[in-house]
Amino acid sequence: MNELIGQISLCIERGKVNKAAPYPPDMKEQDGADELAKQAIDTGIDPNEILQGCMTGMQKIGEKFARNEAFVPELLMSAKAMTAVMTHLKPFFQSGNVQRKGKFVIGTVAGDLHDIGKKLVAMVVEGNGWEVIDLGVDVSTDKFITAIDEHPDCIVGMSALLTTTMVNMENSIQTIKEKYPDTKVIVGGAPLSSDYANKINADGYAPDPQGTVELLTGLK
């Protein structure tokens, strides 16, 4: 791996956003993901290689999070570092020079306003090379359907934190499957399980962000 790419990957894994960022303390006053991404582009490194470095860094922090070796604050810092890199890569995505793995539509289901877990999943999935369409919270079935209309090749992700809104997830999946039987729908959230996912006819269940990435890779 190119040395600059390796440094970018490390900055994302450790959550080093830029040189001014005080976190993590052992990397204080070192260039962060922001500066290193600009250097990589300025020296002519392929944006796809830079994206691969992002994916490696996000995978490592995601695996640590899944093993309870890292926690939400660390994951958020890694996501911020990734966002800094993506700002530099966005023009290349828009020009078609960098190809995404696929499209992932995600939203918290109707009646549920919880956002943090869903946002973490969206950030980690984006960092692993997917185009993410985040519909936000309290997402109605109609809004999911509209998103599928606009992105017919997408995979849909639904989140719920309340047991009282899990039934809305089931209703949305039923409607989606009736209209788009080939569209894959995966679910996640604290009260859910793989058994419940099977019961409501979801195509998969992920307990954490890294699990979502692995599930998407398997469904692609």
Check whether residue 88 and residue 17 sit in a common domain: yes
Check whether residue 86 and residue 116 sit in a common domain: no
Q: Please give the torsion angle defined by the CA atoms of residues 215, 51, 108 and 105, in that order, rounded to the nearest 10 degrees.
A: -80
Position 1 scores a pLDDT of 59
Check whether residue 85 and residue 108 sit in a common domain: no
127: pLDDT strictly greater than 80: no
Instruction: Give residue-wise pLDDT tens across range 75-85.
Output: 889 989 988 99
Check whether residue 25 and residue 111 sit in a common domain: no
Check whether residue 119 and residue 208 sit in a common domain: yes
Check whether residue 193 and residue 118 sit in a common domain: yes
Considering its fold, how many domains does the chain have in total? Answer: 2
**Quick one: average pLDDT of 17-42?**
96
Position 124 scores a pLDDT of 81
Instruction: Give residue-wise pLDDT tens across range 148-199.
Output: 999 999 999 999 989 999 999 999 999 999 999 999 999 999 899 999 999 9
Check whether residue 30 and residue 138 sit in a common domain: no
Position 65 scores a pLDDT of 86
- Of the pLDDT bands very low, low, confident and very high (cuts 50, 70, 90), residue 63 is confident
Name the residue range of residue 214's domain: 103-219
Check whether residue 206 and residue 122 sit in a common domain: yes
User: For the chain, what is the HEC assignment?
Assistant: CCHHHHHHHHHHHHCCCCCCCCCCHHHCCCCCHHHHHHHHHHCCCCHHHHHHHHHHHHHHHHHHHHCCCCCHHHHHHHHHHHHHHHHHHHHHHHHCCCCCCCEEEEEEECCCCCCHHHHHHHHHHHHCCCEEEECCCCECHHHHHHHHHHCCCCEEEEECCCHHHHHHHHHHHHHHHHHCCCCCEEEECCCCCHHHHHHCCCCEECCCHHHHHHHHHHHC
Share the mean pLDDT of the chain.
92
pTM (2 decimals)? 0.74
